[in-house]
Structure 1
Amino acid sequence: VYSLFVIERSLSLPLLIRVCLKKGKSLRQSLKEHGLLEDFLKKHPLTTWPPSISPAWPKRLPVDYYGTISIGTPAQDFTVVFDTGSSNLWAPSVYCSSAACTNHNKFNPSDSITYEATSQSLSIQYGTGSMTGILAYDTVQVGGIADTKQIFGLSETEPGSTFYYAPFDGILGLAFPSIASSGATPIFDNMIKEGLVSQDLFSVYLSSDEQSGSVVMFSVIDSSYYSGSLKWIPLSAETYWEITMDSITIDGETIACSGGCQAIIDTGTSLLAGPSTGISNIDSYTGASNGTRCLLHTDISCSAMSSLPNIVFTINGIEFPVPASAYIIDVSVLLRKLPQGLLYYVVFDRANNQMGLASVA
């Protein structure tokens, strides 16, 4: 897993910063290979969902796409998930006593001349893992952006197997300050405050090519990644990137989210999660069986996909169809997703508290 950063400037465009992502082995696949997936799923049911979205909402298995940032002076590199479903930046540290830190890069404060300690502690509980540690300040490089006094977490414990088998080192949260643990300022908020971005937005494109093409971009909307026009959706809360969804339909029939519901678009979760009734309805309409879940795993054969319907998510009066090729996982190949990238180019617009979606080019 690696990332590169590219800085571009033209006479007509402001600074455009890209952090290139590579699709690595997923946590799900790593657990499967080590014979731990079945036990893991029993301990972390994939269909649990609270009555309403709240800061306590648990996260699910992380996605496959990771990029590299650096912390400290001189730079120490870490692979992270760019996660719009959480707000804290943290990395493993030399203070960590957990097994998960033995096979990941660890931050060493003694090696950074710009490190500033604090007396604050940090504790984050994810649905599939947790960490505790301390907070400190240092220079964080994200692509070509040097955030010279960014608060971040240094892990002291990462219990369990979740982060041990994760192919990334840490997490870079891109959600709102209201859900940041210990009141830590999220990195994108600090970038905005320090004037490090020309526009208060970032965007995400995931390629079907596992080796290259995927990217998170700061400051500029790049129209070469999408076709048609961006469809703008207002946020319903400044917590996660939370929106109001109108309905979920198949063949014109509402099967979930009847009358509207709250939803989030989360780059740190690769699966569809929701109320058990709605998920069961989706399973029923798409032919899943044996307790499996759409966008999770299913025993539907690859040959049957052509006959399966689109799942249509209607948001702000706009239909966003998802074909079977995007919601079926082939369990015969270590639960690997069938080759596809993100169906939609997504813009996360902090300046206007809205999200923009458009079909990928």
Structure 2
Amino acid sequence: MLRLLLLLLSTWTGSAMVRVALMRVPSIRSQLRTQGLLEDFLKDHRPDMFNRRYAQCFPPGTPSLRLRRSSEKIYNFMDAQYYGEISVGTPPQNFSVIFDTGSADLWVPSSYCVSQACAFHRRFKAFESKTFHHDGRSFGIHYGSGHLLGVMGRDTVKIGDMTILNQQFGESVYEPGSAFVTAKFDGVLGLAYQSLAEILGNPVFDNMLAQKIVDQPVFSFYLSRRTRTSNPQGELLLGGIDEAMYNGSINWLPVSAKRYWQVEMDSVVVQGGSSFCPIGCHAIIDTGTSLIGGPTRDVLRLQQLIGATPTNNGEFVIDCTRLSSLPRITFILGGKEYTLTSEQYVRKEPFGISDLCFSGFQAFDIISPEGPMWILGDVFLTEYYSIFDRGLDRIGLAQARHPIE
């Protein structure tokens, strides 16, 4: 046993864990609505829901949705709310990024960017970095609002006290639409598997593993509830698990496909008996998506069951006075029930002197070899501490420990 323990220790010599504070801000969609710009924005850009984000789920032979080597990585950026800080280059240049388990690439705006959006964000100045290496290749990412274009490079990336050397990343030189002007984040740092990467080379966490700078091949997320007084508002822990952030035991789920963080789901049950995917389906655990998504037929029926009615903007509104009477929704994963109350799956947004209530569910259709797919985004992950284990290719979920509101 002693020899086995020494062998295990010798195979992993990581030296640190790092906490990344995550900030929660009003979503881009909410900001556009407050400014009276949402309806015009959606008319102009006509987003195509989640199809482009999950293009790689489609079977071979499906017409490509890509621009060169690119597919959309964060379709739902209009609802993205949680972001944290990193730095790129020597001396370090700071950027705020969405830490996204639904993509695998790192990109930040370039000093050469010609878009209006870049004028409102921090831009990477390659000529000021002593450790920058130009790559020469271009990349493109397709969003509902248009194409994001850029060039690739390598440089030193710092996350907290951790330093990742020769990290491949993208510098965006063109960012589309007014949504990026409104966005509080500068770029995106993907945490999915390498097979999902569009920028050639190792994703950030893969390089952290290769350079053995984390204690364990694990990272975990805590996302706060709606209250602005939550401290922390959210946290990403690279290299470990924080037992103070959850209650009870961890339920471990094996990854069913090493692209996204994808697991098998037993079923989705609505209080009172209605159920979806009764013979099982698959779910993607996605910190880069705010909502919970599912097949159109199922989600439209689900919207009816919770009394949600459609708007011209493709959203579903709910009478805020009826929340206490709405059913609970339960996701069964690995034989364990994960239940959301109406207070948890309904998004409240201030509007004038009152609140608007929106359904936290959104319809999309993914045709994949594994069958129907659901996306468990921040509406779900706010309630459950999530652990992503690359060493054993599994996801852990536990009841998040929130302060009493």
- For the aligned pair, the TM-score class normalised by the smaller chain equals 0.7 to 0.9
Work out whether residues 82 and 171 of structure 1, in 8 Å CA contact, stay in contact via their aligned partners in 2: yes
Q: Does 1:122 align with 2:139?
A: yes
2:223 pairs with one of 191, 206, 212: 206
Structure 1, 272-281 or 249-258: larger mean CA deviation:
249-258
Partner of 2:7: none
1:38-76 deviations in Å (ceiling 9; x for gaps): 234451254869799349577223421110101111111
Mapped partners of 2:190, 2:55: distance in 1:
24
For 2:72 and 2:173, locate their aligned partners in 1 and report how far apart those are by CA, in whole Å. Answer: 23
Aligned to 2:328: 310
Aligned to 1:44: 47
- Residue 231 of structure 1 corresponds to 251
Q: CA deviation at 1:80?
A: 0.5
Residue 221 of structure 2 corresponds to residue 220 of structure 1? no
- Paired residue secondary structure (1:188): helix
Q: Distance in 1 between matches of 2:51 and 2:275?
A: 18
Matches for 1:1-361 after TM superposition, within 5 Å: 15-42=16-43, 43-44=46-47, 46=49, 53-54=57-58, 59-60=75-76, 61-127=78-144, 130-208=147-225, 209-210=227-228, 212-213=231-232, 214-251=234-271, 253-290=273-310, 297-301=316-320, 303-330=321-348, 333=351, 342-361=382-401
Number of residue pairs aligned between Structure 1 and Structure 2: 346
CA contact (8 A) 1:247 1:315 kept: yes
Gaps of 5+ in 2: 1-13, 59-69, 361-378
The structural deviation recorded for 1:323 is 1.0
Equivalent-residue separation in structure 2 for 1:113 and 1:56 (angstroms): 31
Unaligned runs of 5+ in 1: 1-12
Q: What SS does the aligned partner of 2:269 have?
A: strand
- Cα distance between partner residues in 1 of 2:324 and 2:82: 27
Change (3 A) 1:115 1:52: closer
Contact 1:279 1:293 (8 Å CA) reproduced: no
Aligned-partner Cα distance in 2 for 1:156–1:350: 32
Report the counterpart of residue 372 of structure 2 in structure 1.
none
Distance 1:233 1:293, change over 3 A: farther
- Identity within the alignment, %: 38
Assess if the C-alpha contact under 8 Å between 1:256 and 1:281 holds in 2. no
Matched-pair contact (CA < 8 Å) for 1:73–1:112:
yes
- Kindly provide the amino acid, as one letter, of the partner of residue 310 in structure 1: R
Taking structure 1 as the reference length, what is the TM-score of the superposition?
A: 0.88
CA contact (8 A) 1:297 1:331 kept: no
1:84-117 Cα shifts (integer Å, max 9, x gaps):
0111100001111111111100000111111111
Contact kept, 8 Å, 1:82 with 1:174, in 2: the verdict is: yes
Q: Distance in 2 between matches of 1:103 and 1:157?
A: 13
CA drift at 1:335: 5.3
Q: Residues of 2 paired with 1:169 and 1:283: CA distance?
A: 34
AA partner of residue 193 (structure 1): A
C-alpha distance 131-44 of structure 1, shift in aligned 2 (>3 A): same
The change in CA–CA distance for 1:129 and 1:141 in structure 2 (over 3 A counts) is farther
The residue matched to 2:392 in structure 1 has which SS?
Answer: coil
Q: Give yes or no for contact 2:136–2:151 (8 Å, CA) kept in 1.
A: yes
Q: Shift in Å at residue 265 of structure 1? A: 1.0
Q: Distance in 2 between matches of 1:285 and 1:292?
A: 20
| CA distance in structure 1 between the partners assigned to 2:247 and 2:313 by the alignment | 30
CA shift for structure 1 position 266: 0.6
Q: 1:46 to 1:118 in 2, by over 3 A?
A: closer
Q: What is the alpha-carbon root mean square deviation over aligned residues?
A: 2.7
Change in 2 beyond 3 A, CA 1:48/1:219: closer
Deviation at 1:147, TM superposition (A): 0.5
Whether the aligned pair in 1 keeps the contact of 2:42 and 2:313 (CA below 8 Å) is no
1:10 maps to which residue? none
Amino acid at match of 1:328: V
SS at match of 2:57: coil
TM-score (norm 2): 0.79
Corresponding position of 2:371: none
